[in-house]
């Protein structure tokens, strides 16, 4: 069996609040990304999704964060101990990054052509004509019309969807093994969101690139991804094939699924998850979803946060009651 492209194993990430105080923002991230896989990462704000993305592109230190313990490997390379020289060989070349918002994307003071040229030059020395040809090829790949004109434009002249396509073009300039897409449809209308998702699907097929797609939208994740990883309060609570999402075994994943707006009956009431997530770094003992869970028992609160265990083939969950609660038996 082929080794996974990326391995997260009980990864912990802390951030420096003051010289003497540290805050844990990821407590136990455990999952793999296979070569060519399209993996969805979902969870509420504060669950640790974005920090996991930063750990894959080596930008934790810019946010005052660092890996405290655990394992993180990319294509056999230990990223926990990687130095800046190693990161320069990985970032942009082997791992591409699509930012959270198109508004935070293209540099507004240089042309689109200049930004693509920067991304292309990471792969070696090229003539100006080679760079122009490659830039046009990339813009065509992300389905931008009249690429020769767009190369001469600035980001303020482009729509939100066009800006995000440019950022995707920059991310795939080196044909990386992995693309990290951190909520790439934020701020875009529904039609453009669908177009961006279809574009990512085609890029994955064309380049055989693995993609980790971060989102708050389970409907979106479920529509495009092979597998889903669910984060809650800094920990991985479930991993399962997207086709099995209706059969999730963790109450939090079930609650996310039931709160989808697309499954609400006409004039029906939208179901929401009760309560609020625990404060980052001040997590309670036991299951961190216990205070919001309809299936909670005393052992859920007293036992340590459960590590992932197998519900069945390709399905891991972190609930001690996974074998019983979704068979109609709450007690």
Residue 45, in any domain of the structure: yes
Residue 142, in any domain of the structure: no
Q: How many domains does the chain have?
A: 1
User: What is the rounded CA–CA span in Å between residue 91 and residue 171?
Assistant: 10
pLDDT for the residue numbered 264? 67
pLDDT for the residue numbered 101? 66
Tokens linked to 224 = 């495009």
Residue 283, in any domain of the structure: yes
275-304 pLDDT per residue, tens: 888 999 888 888 999 999 989 998 888 767
User: Residue 212: which of 56, 93, 87 has the closest Cα?
Assistant: 56
Which residues constitute the domain of residue 297?
A: 6-106+158-327
- Residues in the chain where the model's pLDDT stays below 70: 1, 101-104, 263-265, 303, 327-331
221-277 pLDDT per residue, tens: 888 999 999 999 999 999 999 999 988 999 999 989 888 777 666 777 777 888 888
CATH number at residue 321: 3.40.50.300
DSSP result, 192-214:
HHHHHHHHHHHHHHHH--EEEEE
pLDDT for the residue numbered 330? 44
Residue 152, in any domain of the structure: no
**Residues 224 and 200: beta-carbon distance below 8 Å:** yes
Residue 257, in any domain of the structure: yes
- Output the CA angle 124-128-132, nearest 5 degrees: 95
Residue 28, in any domain of the structure: yes
Residue 300, in any domain of the structure: yes
Residues in Cβ contact with 164 at an 8 Å cutoff, skipping those fewer than 6 apart: 98, 102, 105, 184, 185, 188, 192, 196
Residue 144, in any domain of the structure: no
pLDDT for the residue numbered 331? 36
CB neighbour class for 248 (10 Å; exposed up to 12, middle 13-18, buried from 19): buried
Regarding pTM above 0.85, the answer is yes
Instruction: Count the Cβ atoms, other than its own, within 10 Å of residue 23.
Output: 15
User: What is the rounded CA–CA span in Å between residue 104 and residue 95?
Assistant: 19
């Amino acid at each position: 069996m082929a080794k996974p492209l990326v391995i997260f194993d009980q990864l912990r990430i802390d951030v420096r609040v003051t010289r003497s105080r540290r805050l844990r923002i990821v407590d136990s991230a455990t999952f793999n990304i296979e070569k060519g896989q399209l993996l969805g990462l979902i969870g509420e704000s504060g669950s640790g999704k974005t920090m996991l993305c930063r750990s894959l592109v080596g930008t934790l230190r810019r946010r005052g964060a660092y890996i405290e313990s655990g394992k993180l490997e990319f294509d056999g390379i230990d990223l926990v101990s990687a130095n800046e020289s190693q990161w320069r060989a990985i970032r942009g070349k082997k791992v591409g990054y699509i930012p959270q918002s198109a508004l935070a994307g293209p540099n507004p003071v240089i042309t689109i052509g200049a930004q693509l040229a920067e991304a292309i030059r990471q792969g070696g020395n090229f003539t100006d004509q080679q760079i122009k040809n490659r830039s046009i090829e990339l813009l065509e790949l992300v389905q931008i019309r009249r690429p020769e004109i767009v190369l001469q434009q600035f980001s303020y002249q482009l729509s939100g969807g066009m800006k995000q396509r440019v950022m995707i073009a920059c991310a795939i300039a080196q044909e990386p093994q992995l693309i990290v897409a951190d909520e790439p449809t934020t701020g875009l209308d529904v039609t453009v969101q669908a177009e961006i998702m279809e574009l990512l699907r085609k890029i994955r097929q064309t380049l055989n690139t693995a993609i980790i797609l971060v989102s708050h939208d389970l409907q979106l994740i479920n529509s495009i991804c092979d597998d889903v990883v669910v984060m809650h309060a800094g920990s991985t609570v479930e991993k399962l094939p997207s086709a099995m999402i209706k059969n999730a075994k963790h109450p939090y994943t079930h609650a996310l699924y039931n709160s989808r707006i697309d499954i609400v009956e006409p004039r029906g009431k939208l179901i929401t998850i009760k309560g609020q997530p625990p404060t980052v770094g001040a997590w309670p003992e036991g299951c961190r979803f216990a205070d919001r869970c309809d299936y909670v028992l005393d052992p859920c609160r007293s036992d340590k946060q459960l590590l992932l265990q197998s519900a069945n083939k390709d399905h891991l969950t972190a609930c001690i009651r996974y074998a019983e609660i979704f068979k109609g038996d709450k007690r």
